[in-house]
A and B are shown apart, each in its own frame.
Chain A
């Protein structure tokens, strides 16, 4: 499927997923916005394996799994290293200097997919994939501690077909720390003031009107929507054990196949569902 050909109808289509194993260094060295309990590595691994298992077995995606790199404690969060939209991939320049090398492995794997590759080489630019929300119609880029204007500009240059609007993000690590797409036209959004404000900004900036799904917990607003041919709307969301109230909200989505996935350990280091994979829809030959 080329360019805009797919349109919103194809939103959520996905054939491949790139994931990366978590290094043990994550427990102590991973960046975190706030101090907190130590990560239970074993449990984190189990959760991650479940996550990968869902993508691979349950949803039938081709999962490209990168090995962990102990020198890159945050490497499990592959989302930040690349933004892939349709046939084009933008290799980012993560805002945290310690994470810049994560991109190398990502580059290699994406090259194997024969995508149009764009590298962010500008040393003044930073961009974390976690700040990039693609709605199927346009991009929103959070301007956060990790992502700056220049990074957003390069994103806009890379994906010229789409409008790229900037959204200030102050209280969270990433834009997608409190929102994500829960459907083709549906934005899941947290209830915090910051989240609501960001949503308003996005609504104003967009020519399109999105539906919104407001969940009580910001972290729970980060979910993964997939359009799987055999299963229809699929939504990976945080488990009821973690966010019971938010889970109830998701459960009201009758048309979605709901798959709760716990991410309790990675959340301690600001991890969320979308952080752990790069989803790719490869329609042409491969």
Chain B
């Protein structure tokens, strides 16, 4: 069952994302969606049944359980929430979230999206969906194997692409076949990489709606084409690149303007429609990543486009130059476009048609001419190279500026570049944070934060906050940072250890190739230098005046000068697959290029895509890599990276770190311009606190947390603390493992606490609060009403259970019941019901029994050794409820149990899901200890898997205030059917933990349960 569950969750997640981002054109998705929905329903039903879950060990404690339904959640919470929940969220949110992208999830997402969209678009009848549902389940199973998700699937896709009908067939065939899912994933990956062939398979008989796109090119011309309404950004981008005959395209991107000056990069992996919303389908082809050394570009044509971009940048004033440099660059432009200076042909006024600078004087033009004469003999390509050699030295070359204010409200500019983040005040650079120095990047609401490595003499990491004009600006900046860091600093995009991560908040990651990868790919370019005509900058420059979008002056447009000439043959040769278009649209098969070519490309891309890590708004860099000296050789970096990846993988599977807490504390430190670093002790962030529950879009979560979440299915984590006083908390999380507990910090709030409420309106509303202290204490159970009623209902899929036991030293962390307000999405109806704990526990125990039983052995294995004894006596347990962002929640006191019922949104009628999170925490929980002050001695993570369970044990040894403390955190994920008695299993697990580690006490038990309810109809 686990497989099913996992897969489903993934799928849902995917769908969620997809829904948010782009539901459009992918036929496959559409087809899948029905299935998914069904599966969801099944889950939800099950969930309902299992909803009431007694916590075995913790029963003694009067802990109240809350059951919530998370149809909608804040991003923060969403992490914990099962994918489908997220999906719902996305629904509720009218706006698509850019953030949500998981490449790993890739296909699944697509599918989900399609589902989501379906209702909206009316694309597919429910019937089909239902039918599909069965398939989905199968697929889901396959998904779990996603880890394996290999490139292989890519092959199949191309075929699919061809016919929509084909898709349907496939679906049928694939039912039950895991491969299907794999394939889907692959396809998705492929899409991200270069072209998305996924679209091809469509169930819906609908005719494809097309929209005309216009793209302003760098040479001032306009390219227009018809795209499926649901096409992803990649499709358009690939078309444009094909049109331009551009192979080294990873440096480029498509922009759309929200307002006159708010430029957004079109995310290739998301549907265009979802990104631009109501904006016109008007884009600008621009350089996205300015290569620090243009001479390393492989093709002249690439350099040419870079030159065009820079000429625009210079003429528009975005790239400031001195008088002399304006003149010099202008002279190279003349040389490239006009050739050698010819006194007869080039009269004094020939130059005034060009624009070399924002304000161009006679004197400057004379200087340009003077210099032009000196370039005699330079070929256009050489002149371009010279141009770039000079331009690249400009201090603002490749710096993407964003308006912001520092902590004191002073206007500053944040510049993102290849090397890091630059801080400007009135053109003066007042600070700089190289990528290696930045540990974490996050944003919340309109605040943007960077966590900085401590300076030489400083002991603490510091967090520096900036205020952006609005949430969207903060998010834009964050994304740009994530992309630049990935592109320039990493060898390859971050790769998730497992494909099935579920995360809250923004899952955005750079999905393209890194500079290293694109260089590598460029080396394979084997084609004669393409012929292209250099357009005169006259036109370009004119249009540039005051036109933010680039060249809008139609009068200047010329026939397509450049790319068109590219013969089909070239395309075939291209590494990057030119074939995309063909695949996608049958209509566009002008090129006879063989389908195979595309496949190859696709495969490569797919890999890339798969690499992407899901994350949150928080972007944590490869910290180790960052540590590296810039001077290190590529090889060193590669080696290092490999080891880091390994570490990372391990780490991800392990329990979360304490960092989040620190993060919270320091998050708001003011920016001191001159200061290198800040101490962690800084004032708290503005947004912290329960109050944050409002709509805050927050995305600060630790990756660690994310990773946990990622593990879908049931996880149980048992942390055993050797600390004397530490008590054990056993928490079971239903559904995805929501609990992120930081070993080092007891107060650290688990992720659930972080939950942010997302508002239906926008991602902005998302609240991702990380509430350190509250979290631990909270217990949240989410259920759907139906669950109550149908406890007995059979659950087809049960996901579940994370048992998280955290041992802490004495201080009890406060038991403050936290009240969380969840935002209800406009569309979602949320009902809350208070339920007595007793009932819940009961159910729970039932559910758990079997699961735990199965897992017992594994647990024992894990626990062996370090921990000798576990106290489960946790008599006084504190239960807190954390509510997911979107869901209304009640305040829960220790003795209270609240049950929440949510009625699934109309939009997501078919699927019902359930998630429960129960946290039991011993009152003695240590809150007094100085947070992270402890010194980490060692950390160890062990993971074992069996058919239905996955157990991860994370052992951390720390020294705090002279006391050494060993924490064992065990996470057990149990995947199983309704038949499994989870309660018993949990009880068993705790018992065993105790036995194994008699010396240890159980400080925390978190049970997180995710259930998907089957449709009533079916059952």
Contacts and interface: CB of A to CB of B under 8 A. Distances in A.
Say whether A and B bind each other. Answer: yes
B320 interface: yes
B612 to A, nearest CB: 27
B322 A88 contact: yes
A4 B394 contact: yes
A88 B324 CA distance: 8
B323 A204 contact: no
A122 B754 CA distance: 51
A131 interface: no
Contacts of A167: 674
B428 A2 contact: no
Interface in A201-219: 201, 204-207, 209
Given A3-B322, A3-B328, A205-B431, A153 B393 contact: no
Given A86-B324, A207-B419, A161 B427 contact: no
Nearest to A207: B419
B390 A5 contact: yes
Interface string B116-156: 00000000000000000000000000000000000000000
B620 interface: no
A88 B432 CA distance: 27
B395 A163 contact: yes
B430 interface: yes
Given A153-B426, A161-B325, A166-B430, A4 B393 contact: yes
Interface residues of B, number: 34
B328 to A, nearest CB: 4
Contacts of A153: 426-428
A15 to B, nearest CB: 16
Nearest to A160: B320
B427 A205 contact: no
A157 interface: yes
Interface string A1-34: 0111101000000000000000000000000000
Contacts of A137: 393
A167 B325 CA distance: 26
A281 interface: no
A160 B322 contact: yes
A156 B413 CA distance: 15
A161 B395 contact: yes
A101 B174 CA distance: 87
Contacts of B329: 3
Interface string B597-640: 00000000000000000000000000000000011000000000
B322 A207 contact: no
A88 B327 CA distance: 13
B429 interface: yes
B456 interface: yes
Interface in A158-177: 158-168
B428 A152 contact: yes
A167 B428 CA distance: 10
Contacts of A152: 428
Interface in A127-151: 137-138, 141, 149
Nearest to B631: A209
B421 to A, nearest CB: 11
Contacts of A47: none
B630 A209 contact: yes
Contact of B325 (A3, A156, A163): A3
A87 B364 CA distance: 13
Contacts of A161: 320-322, 325, 393-395
A88 B367 CA distance: 14
Contacts of B431: 204-205
Given A2-B327, A4-B394, A5-B390, A156 B427 contact: yes
B332 to A, nearest CB: 10
A193 to B, nearest CB: 11
A43 interface: no
Contacts of B324: 2-3, 86-88, 116
A149 B432 contact: no
B836 to A, nearest CB: 59
B488 to A, nearest CB: 12
A200 interface: yes
A160 B426 contact: no
Interface string B304-322: 0000000000000000111
B863 interface: no
B325 A207 contact: no
Interface in B653-699: 674, 676
Nearest to A85: B322
Contact of B428 (A3, A116, A149, A207): A149
Contacts of A166: 428-430, 674
Nearest to A141: B428
Instruction: Pick from B323, B396, B434 the residue with the most CB of A within 10 Å.
Output: B323
Nearest to A158: B322
B327 A3 contact: yes
Nearest to A155: B428
Contacts of A158: 322
A204 B676 contact: yes
Interface in B319-355: 320-325, 327-329
B652 interface: no
A163 B431 CA distance: 11
Contacts of B432: 165, 204-207
Contacts of A88: 322-324
Contacts of B630: 209
Contact of B395 (A87, A138, A157, A209): A138
Contacts of B575: none
A161 B314 CA distance: 11
Contacts of B393: 4, 7, 137, 161
B990 interface: no
Contact of B427 (A138, A157, A207, A209): A157
Nearest to B677: A204
Interface string B361-392: 00000000001000000000000000000100
A167 B430 CA distance: 8
A201 B428 contact: no
Nearest to A163: B395
B328 A200 contact: no
B105 to A, nearest CB: 36
Nearest to B374: A2
Contact of A164 (B323, B328, B428, B456): B428
Contacts of B320: 160-161
Contacts of A207: 417, 419-420, 432, 434
Instruction: Pick from A3, A168, A204 the residue with the most CB of B within 10 Å.
Output: A3
Contact of B429 (A116, A149, A160, A164): A164
Interface string B427-448: 1111110100100000000000
Nearest to A208: B419
A250 to B, nearest CB: 26
Nearest to A7: B393
A157 B323 CA distance: 11
A11 to B, nearest CB: 13
Nearest to A164: B428
Instruction: Pick from B325, B329, B431 the residue with the most CB of A within 10 Å.
Output: B325
A141 B323 CA distance: 21
A164 B674 contact: no
Contacts of A162: 395
Nearest to A140: B429
Contacts of B395: 138, 161-164
A165 B395 CA distance: 11
Q: When A and B form their complex, which 3 residue pairs have the shortest distance between CB atoms, in order from nearest? A: A3-B325, A163-B395, A160-B320
23 contacts: A3-B322, A3-B325, A3-B328, A4-B328, A4-B394, A7-B393, A88-B322, A88-B324, A137-B393, A152-B428, A153-B426, A158-B322, A160-B320, A160-B321, A161-B321, A161-B325, A164-B427, A200-B455, A200-B676, A205-B432, A207-B417, A207-B419, A207-B432
Given A159-B322, A160-B394, A205-B429, 18 more contacts: A3-B321, A4-B325, A4-B394, A5-B328, A87-B324, A116-B323, A138-B395, A152-B428, A153-B426, A156-B427, A162-B395, A164-B427, A165-B430, A166-B430, A166-B674, A167-B674, A205-B431, A207-B432
